[in-house]
Amino acid sequence: MNSKQPFNFLTRIISSAVLCCLALLGGAGLTVASEYELSSEAPSSASRNLQPIGTISLVLGRAFIESEGNNRERIRMGMMVRQADRIVTESNGHVHIRFIDEALVSVRPNSELEILAYVFNEEDPEKSSIKFNLLEGTARAVSGNAAKAARQRFRLNTPIAAIGVRGTDFVVTTTATLMTVLVNEGAVVVAPFSDECVAQGFGPCSTNAVELTADSLQLIEFDSNMALPRLVPLVVSEESTEQLQGAASNTGAQPPIVEASGDEEDKKATSKEVVMESVTSVGVADDAAADDTAANN
């Protein structure tokens, strides 16, 4: 046998072993790199939720903010608001939030509002996305730069329907089975949840949707027994007009307060909750002052 054959055979074995080691090391390197890339992305996603997206510009009465981790704090003026926060107001609580894009949201008494997403792309506002979830109560939303530029990426959910906007100022009140929407400026699109309109989506739904504009002198009413939302004529009550005149001296002129005409008492009560927060603030401020006085005594 040729004396070189054992040497060549041994060389091939060593070469194969080296190649295997390199392959294993390379795979390990790729694995480490992949894990590093995933871990480096996670903090950026988490830190995004920690970035302030708005500020409490008004608080009256008892109201709380619930953040991730189930932390619950009494709301104070100037407090920062972040994604995934939940605003909860008691019977005399009233909160205003001023967002980074100059949007305003007012949360009225006995309400619960979740900020599911609030991403404002200042360089390209059309890439912004906003989503709220009003679990119960009444809220007013005045669109800022994000919603005006990215109307197809704005959504306010209630327990039974989705609301999209056309660059707007609107008030919505909801329970688990009934909701009412009033538009002060612009337009909204309301659609019940279905296979085509899911709560996880963004923007207005088109299936079974009803559009409401500010100049229609109507509001949208919907309950869980209806197939479609319906438009209800508005009636300006004398009592509401007097309330408005009394509040105007403190808050400036506002659109008329309206209530829905109709025969069902529960729907009348719900419709009456759809009012401008400028008028509501007058009564809420009195309750809040009384509450604070009692707490200090």
Domains of the chain and CATH, by start:
55-232 (2.60.120.1440)
**133 near 157, Cβ under 8 Å?**
yes
d(CA 43, CA 85): 18
Task: For tokens 């306010």, name the residue.
Answer: 156
Which two structure tokens, joined as six digits, stand for 215? Answer: 């100049």
Instruction: Determine how β-strand 161-165 pairs with β-strand 154-157.
Output: antiparallel
d(CA 177, CA 266): 11
Residue 173 has pLDDT above 80, yes or no: yes
Mean pLDDT on 41-67: 79
Which two structure tokens, joined as six digits, stand for 286? Answer: 């009195």
Confidence at 283, pLDDT banded by 50, 70, 90: very low
Mean pLDDT on 88-96: 98
pLDDT at 140: 98
Question: pLDDT digit string (tens) for 186-206?
Answer: 999 999 999 999 999 999 999
d(CA 109, CA 89): 5
Confidence at 37, pLDDT banded by 50, 70, 90: very low
List the single range of 81-95, 207-221, 227-241 with lowest mean pLDDT.
227-241
pLDDT at 93: 98
Instruction: Determine how β-strand 218-223 pairs with β-strand 104-107.
Output: unpaired
**75 near 63, Cβ under 8 Å?**
yes
3-state DSSP assignment of residue 209 = coil
Confidence at 265, pLDDT banded by 50, 70, 90: very low
d(CA 3, CA 41): 58
List the single range of 5-19, 94-108, 174-188, 205-219 with lowest mean pLDDT.
5-19
Residue 177 has pLDDT above 90, yes or no: yes
pLDDT at 12: 57
Residue 4 has pLDDT above 60, yes or no: no
Residue 22 has pLDDT above 90, yes or no: no
pLDDT at 253: 39
Q: Can you say whether residue 84 is alpha, beta or left, with left for phi > 0 and alpha for psi between -120 and 50 degrees?
A: left
pLDDT at 163: 98
Question: pLDDT digit string (tens) for 96-153?
Answer: 999 999 999 999 999 999 999 999 999 999 999 999 999 999 999 999 999 999 999 9
C-beta pairs of 204-207 under 8 Å, 24+ apart in sequence:
204/151, 204/152, 204/155, 204/162, 204/163, 204/164, 204/165, 205/162, 205/164
Residue 251 has pLDDT above 50, yes or no: no
Residue 78 has pLDDT above 80, yes or no: yes
Task: For tokens 């360089």, name the residue.
Answer: 123
